Amino acid sequence: MSYNILEDGHVSSPSGFRATGVAGGLKEVRARDLALVYSRHPCRVAASFTSNAILAAPVFFNQAILARNREQIRAVLINAGQANAGTGQQGLADAVECAKITADELEIARDSVLLMSTGQIGVPLPMHRMKDAVRRAVSELDSGGGRRAAMAILTTDTRPKDRALVVSLREGRSVAIGGMAKAGRLAHPRMATTLALLTSDVAIDTRLLARSLEQSVALSFGRTVLEGDPSPNDGILLLANGAAANEPIVDAGSWEYGAWQEALDAICADLAQQVLRDAAGAGKIVQVHVRGAASEASARQVAQAVARSSAVRWACAQALPDWGGILVAVGASGAELRPDLLELRLGPVAVMLEGMPARFEPATAVQALSAPEVELTVDLHMGLHAASVWACTGPADSFLAL
């Protein structure tokens, strides 16, 4: 393993980054609701945005900025309370004004600021409060402010989610990666209601930065399944400012790139798991493992179908060894399979072998399903490919049991 967890690390732990979170009066309840993350050095940026055809104003704004500037970004402003989605041209004008205010206060170029918003759709930003809030945030920026920023982006979340890692490179050099994330109850593999901001002091080629983020998101946020549809606001941003002064990573086949990718995969997985556990609340984490698939795409298809199934989540929530929901979900997934080869397991307990019901002790299966984290395994016996996704039970699944 090429990385170590940085104790009490956060989004402003990497060299050259500062952050804070302030109470700007954007929420009805007085709380931190405006986060600002700033880099003293220009950043290269990679991004992953929602697949929803309706884009919130900040997403549209970011796409426009990144179309012409992916190597000179200096700051990200995130507000909580209003999504600035479904707000028309006025919403876009407000987004442009927020970036202008932030740039002017920081004395940086106006096209070097990115935006993220989370909160209620269809509600315009309270622009009469925004300028004072940004000014206060700029005055409170510091390298230890990452936790304040993580608190300021919360909506229905119950706790901040952040992490930082130190990545060891050759010749005694190291780089750091920090990050924070939020998501409400309605998350989805397409990242509904999910925002994440990652920072690093690594020097790396812009194309490799985009490639590495794409892989890490696919292996983390892309494998978490909660309820809901993709939100107009969702996005993940990765900023790299090169302040660690490492030899730039320019070769995807190099040892340095492998070490960087391993660490980025790890921090994205960590943040995604924090999001999932917060969404689960008093419910359970459900891990769905699919193996023996003819292709990786088929494995993902089956895993996501099982994880999305309300019948499966309900059975897990109630610790009922009724595996019929799993079988139905597998068959309805549309993936290539042979029913006569299917193998299903509840934890370690085999309930179907070679497409036929297996004899098992119900009490053992109930015990496996009663744990805080439940594992479900589907073996298609069709090939060598595998995939895993994570879901959770929660209030909706409890309601189904009434």
Which positions are catalytic?
193
Rounded Cα distance, 40 and 43, in Å = 9
Counting beta carbons within 10 angstroms of the beta carbon of residue 334, is it exposed (0 to 12), middle (13 to 18) or buried (19 or more)?
exposed
Rounded Cα distance, 284 and 271, in Å = 17
Counting beta carbons within 10 angstroms of the beta carbon of residue 25, is it exposed (0 to 12), middle (13 to 18) or buried (19 or more)?
middle
Rg over alpha carbons for the chain, rounded to the nearest Å, is 22
Could you tell me the CA-to-CA distances from 63 to 70, 88, 111, 183 in Å, in that order?
A: 10, 17, 12, 21
- CB of 367 within 8 A of CB of 394? no
User: Dihedral of CA 102/108/110/115: which sign?
Assistant: negative
* Structure tokens belonging to residue 212: 């590495």
Could you tell me the CA-to-CA distances from 381 to 91, 136, 330, 358 in Å, in that order?
A: 51, 59, 13, 16
* Structure tokens belonging to residue 360: 């098992």
Neighbours of 138 (CB within 10 A): 20
Q: Of 86, 89, 166, which Cα lies nearest the Cα of 121?
A: 86
Residues forming beta bridges with residue 285, ordered by sequence position: 373, 392
